[in-house]
Chains A and B, each alone.
Chain A
Amino acid sequence: MAEESAGTPKGVQRDAISTRLPQVFLPRANLFYRAFLLAIPFGALVGGYTWYRLCRSPDITEVRMPIGQPVMFSHRHHVGDLKIDCRYCHTSAEKSSFAGVPSTQICMSCHSQLFTDSPLLEPVRESAAAGRPIAWNRVHNLPDYVYFNHSIHVNKGVGCTTCHGAVNEMPLMMKTQTLFMEWCLQCHRDPARTQRPDSEIYSVSWEPGPKQGETGAALALKHHLDSEHLTNCSVCHR
């Protein structure tokens, strides 16, 4: 390599070559080049911001985007109008990681008597008759490397609506929170802000009061909540 680059082509005069070279760049070329250089940081900023906004847009997060279901089940009707307790259908919320989606049998415990000819309920009756389960569309989906446990949250002062929103106002279920880790950490860093009395866990009307700072802190203490422990990676990732 070194030998080749050191020598010049034999029999050709260097000066002769340089004088014969044509002008390829127009005088304006420098301007384009400077503009392009300026555009790089600007583009990076715009691109970064677009990416940031895109990741947080409802198209990606699905926040407040109702999800269609095989049965047009309305939480507004069942929770808001009829005031059925969450645990009537989500039976394992208090004792398991998974809150539980009701079996067809739970639907049929009422609907074998009520609205027995409603076309909306045809998939439920079909499921009960054929013994074929209903495949619901998952609305709240965490990545597989996150291990969320319902039981420890509802037993330690975190109510359903804190994460799931006012389900009593939702005709079709939708997310109200992004479920991003930064959102989880808001409470894990400061559990007091959402702590509610044990009696209010399943209430859909509970709102933090003006003295939430004090009452929440007292409840967090009672529930043995320690933000230093709760912000360990291994609490949710294993």
Chain B
Amino acid sequence: MKPPHRYSGANAAGGLRHWRSLDELSDTPEFRQWLEREFPENASDWLDAERDGLGRRRFLSLMGASLALAGFAGCSLRSREKIVPYVAQPEEIVPGRPLYYATAMPLRGYGRGIIVETQMGRPVKIEGNPAHPDSLGATDAVMQAAVLELWNPDRSQTPMFQGGISDWGQFESELLAVMAKMSAADGEGMAILTEASTSPTLQRQRAAWLAKFPKARWYWGGGGSPIPKLPPAGADFGKADLIVSIGCDIFADQPGSLRFTRQFAKRRRVENGRVNPNRLYVLESTPTITGSMADHRLAAPPDRIAAVLRWANGRGDEVLDPAEQTFARNLAADLAAHRANSIVIAGETEPDQIRSLAESMGAGKNSQSLPEDELATLCGDLAGGHVQNLFILGGNPAYNSPAALGFADHLRKATFTVHLGHYYDETSRQCRWHLPQTHFLEEWSDILASGGTPTIIQPVIDPLYAGKSIHEVLSLLTGTFRPSGYDIVRATWGASGKGDFGTFWDQSVHDGIVAGAPPAAAPGARAAGDAVATPAPSGAPAIPPPALTPGADYLLIRPDPAVGDGRWADNGWLQEMPKPMTKLTWDNAAILSPAMARRHGLGTGDMIDLHAGGRSVRAPVMVLPGQADRCVTVHLGYGRTVAGKVGSNRGFSAYPLQDAHSPWCLAGLEIRKAEGTYELATTQHHFSMEGRDIVRVAGVDEFRANPEFAAPKLPHPPSLLPAAPPLHHHATYAWGLTVDLSTCTGCAACVIACQAENNIPYVGKEQVAAGREMHWIRIDRYFEGAPENPAMLNQPVLCMHCENAPCEVVCPVAATVHNDEGLNTMIYNRCVGTRYCSNNCPYKVRRFNFLEYSPPPDSAEAQGENPNVTVRRRGVMEKCTYCVQRINLSRIAAELDNRRIRDGEIQTACQQACPAEAIVFGNLLDPGSRVSRRKKEPVNYGLLTELNTRPRTTYLARIRNPFSTKESA
């Protein structure tokens, strides 16, 4: 095991302008090792050798035996492949061509419109629905990963009765007896717990159920993420001149994040050499991608955030340190100048004092259309014996609720407990019955966007297992047996009194959005306000929020950027996605600032005990620049015990630390060093490019004075590569790509989109730690300035498709060659795995299959693979292809119509997913194409062009808009 990295503080001031980690800044030996080797030491060794008892000798003897037996293996005949046509072919299916369906993905109660690609009936890829206001054609990482969730073989497949396999018939017969009793008692003692949702059908069914059982209770709640608070309707992050985010991850965590990113990017993009950026202030305690986009960012603990806000508001007699003072003075001046055209937004996880301060700064009040979490009330009612029959429809509250509530213990007091869920999880195991729930790609439902636009969720595949949707189960609970989800959802919309319902329905389902207002039964504003019979909370009396004690240490709890509140813990793509700011995979950690770590003598990988509110949890430390001093951030979603093969027993659970009344921020944290160390698999050093001038950034004033700051016309040093490679002048297309660093938020949607499109496997924590991750696109995170309060930058790096490709000249078998359109292509069936190409790539974008990572062809996960991309085997090199399969399919489509490929017709997977439209791909031989115009911008530059590699992928330098004193004068 590697020793924990310790930040010595050396070299912090001088040297690098941009750095990726504290190790790089202080140039530790560990960092040199990552830097100088193509793959880390022992990367090609058998990692599990010791565990498996497979030493070198045993390996050699096994190899010898298998070599001797290989001759026999050659004698077997290949089994003949079968072609199995339909009995009656559906009209719309053309074998070999995809079909697309519009639907929506529910996320934290709201829907994001998506378009699902199915190949011969199998959903394989999710894209955003351009017509949907919360998607606009973009997706985030979680939406991209939903396909893997569908095909996950760990999903619950059958009803379970007290831990044994059962079926729906047995459940229904027991339910009948219970319902008969309940009908007589008007539902006294019966309750439903479900996660808050804007689904109109769910609201309608709720009203019907409560009408039938007037004394029954309905509780919303049970999710581990905060209830979204929406910015005022009409808030446009592109039109506002001033945006102030107070601990709010505008670009990642909001139901409208994709739209906000799109709006913001429009304002920050350099177009035709000009830009008129707005200004983003971010005041936060823990680094977020919004913070990385800030023009001014201040990392401060909650009490200091409140002090800075009071000062900026002109109400405080606070004493601020110099950094805080600069920030507060700039903010106050900007607020005075732009108050009319500003957005001040505070995160849901911020303490109430800070939220109300933000509101007093001229921020419109953020609205909340979802009801408050009522899990605490339910716990009180269970304890009081008011609930005997409890139906938990969706969610996993036994895991993802504050352990202080003791939900799992209270649950045992109910006699008849039923859990409907996607997995046989922590909650299921506490219940009498577990029922499998359908995935959203398998069911009929409906949901609203954050702005109120409804979408009808349609199934794109029949349920793979014996699942039923929440609507079908609710229908069972109101006495309709064998209900169909289709009829239930149609009934909701049929009541809306549209003229020709058939046409209306077909159009709405086809478009993925419903024109006009949702039906009357839908929750226009508040869903909980119209409670039919929910009694007043019988829980504890309201407790005032804890004070923001000055000088205290704070514990901050946040949903994980990848696995959320734990619901995506069994998704390998999300587990392995390097988390946007920490670059951590497969784990969570206690995140400390460098100063705090130094005070306590801690380094990354040390174990500590976190004590807060009388509770304690042991966690590994991660030292992260940009983290506010005196704050320890822990992410939820880990420490699952029964998540599945991928998600179980990873990291630690932060729910035991969570306070029921102040779940996101606790003052009075104590940390104590504990025994042992822990290896965290971060990708922050992997594929580093040695401090060269990779990421370029300037203030808007500097840009206006010298628009070509990023690409100075300097004579290049001599290169071994030819001056200009022979161009294929007869070719019609020359593909190229640009990445705009001014708009890229580093959200990692492209990473997962690429993974889904190109059948990239996930490899597991041990393999990531050995530098074997397979992502074709990585997002390098750079810090700038002092480690205490750095600015942050993100740079996606993919294959540069160099015209003078250094990888090609070293391949002994010509497995990587250029095509006439400028793609550096990788021919898997030729590759013998020498890895010379990777060694010779200055951008470190090539990935090697050290082991057989891809799922076996007959596994459920393999059903979700893209049939248009080769599945790579062990011993093969791979890398970004510019989505050559999309190029080829578009070319064939264009050639069939006897025309050229139109600009914008081909979108690479990363480009299509990007909410900021930061990635542009197209034909460089067409001077009018978008990519050609992007490349003509003065801020366009290539990486390591001094090597004369002539990369086809180029970058547009980042333009910041810091406050300048000229403006205030």
A interface with B by C-beta (< 8 Å): 67, 91-92, 95-98, 100-106, 127-128, 131-138, 141, 143-145, 147, 149, 151-152, 155-156, 224, 226, 228-229, 232-235, 237-238
Contacts and interface: CB of A to CB of B under 8 A. Distances in A.
Contacts of B84: 133-136
B81 interface: yes
B81 A141 contact: yes
Contact of B87 (A132, A136, A152): A132
B819 A232 contact: yes
Contacts of A233: 817, 819, 825, 827
B87 A131 contact: yes
Contact of B892 (A100, A128, A145, A149): A149
Residue among B817, B820, B821 with max Cβ neighbours from chain A (10 Å): B820
Given A131-B87, A133-B84, A229 B820 contact: yes
Contact of B83 (A136, A156, A234): A136
Interface of B: 80-89, 94-97, 728, 730-731, 817, 819-821, 823, 825, 827-829, 868-871, 881, 884-885, 888, 892, 895-896
Contacts of B869: 238
Nearest to B90: A103
Contact of A144 (B80, B823, B870): B870
A132 B86 CA distance: 8
A103 B829 contact: no
Residue among B87, B731, B892 with max Cβ neighbours from chain A (10 Å): B87
A129 to B, nearest CB: 10
A234 B884 contact: yes
A101 B868 CA distance: 20
A128 to B, nearest CB: 7
Contact of A238 (B87, B95, B821, B884): B884
A194 B80 CA distance: 30
B870 A103 contact: no
Given A137-B80, A228-B728, A233-B825, A104 B85 contact: yes
B730 A228 contact: yes
Contacts of A138: 80-83
B93 to A, nearest CB: 9
Contacts of B825: 232-234, 237
Contacts of B828: 145, 237
B730 A226 contact: yes
Contacts of A92: 94-97
B94 A147 contact: no
Q: Which 9 A-B pairs have the closest CB atoms?
A: A98-B96, A232-B819, A96-B96, A138-B81, A97-B96, A234-B825, A103-B89, A103-B86, A101-B85
A101 B84 CA distance: 8
A136 B94 CA distance: 18
A42 B96 CA distance: 49
18 contacts: A91-B89, A96-B96, A96-B97, A97-B97, A98-B96, A100-B96, A133-B86, A135-B83, A137-B81, A137-B82, A138-B83, A152-B896, A155-B895, A156-B895, A226-B730, A232-B819, A235-B888, A238-B870
A238 B85 contact: no
Contacts, number: 120
Nearest to A230: B820
Contacts of A132: 87
Nearest to B872: A145
B896 A234 contact: no
A90 B97 CA distance: 15
B829 A145 contact: yes
B82 to A, nearest CB: 4
Contacts of B892: 149, 151-152
B625 to A, nearest CB: 41
Contacts of A104: 85-88
A6 B884 CA distance: 64
A91 B819 CA distance: 33
B802 to A, nearest CB: 16
A137 to B, nearest CB: 5
Contacts of A135: 82-84
Given A145-B829, A147-B868, A233-B819, A127 B87 contact: yes
Nearest to B86: A103
Contacts of B895: 152, 155-156, 224
A234 B88 contact: no
Given A103-B88, A135-B83, 10 more contacts: A92-B96, A95-B896, A98-B96, A102-B85, A147-B888, A229-B821, A232-B819, A232-B820, A232-B825, A237-B825
B780 to A, nearest CB: 27
B94 A234 contact: no
Nearest to B895: A152
A232 B89 CA distance: 36
A238 B895 CA distance: 19
Contact of A234 (B819, B829, B871): B819
Residue among B85, B95, B730, B895 with max Cβ neighbours from chain A (10 Å): B85
Contacts of B888: 147, 234-235, 238
B870 A145 contact: yes
Contacts of A143: 829
A67 B97 CA distance: 28
A138 B84 CA distance: 10
A149 B884 CA distance: 15
Contacts of B97: 92, 95-97
Residue among A67, A91, A228, A234 with max Cβ neighbours from chain B (10 Å): A234
A105 B95 CA distance: 15
Given A133-B87, A233-B819, A96 B82 contact: no
Contacts of B819: 229, 232-235
B868 A136 contact: no
A101 B96 CA distance: 12
Nearest to A105: B88
Contacts of A145: 828-829, 870
Nearest to B857: A144
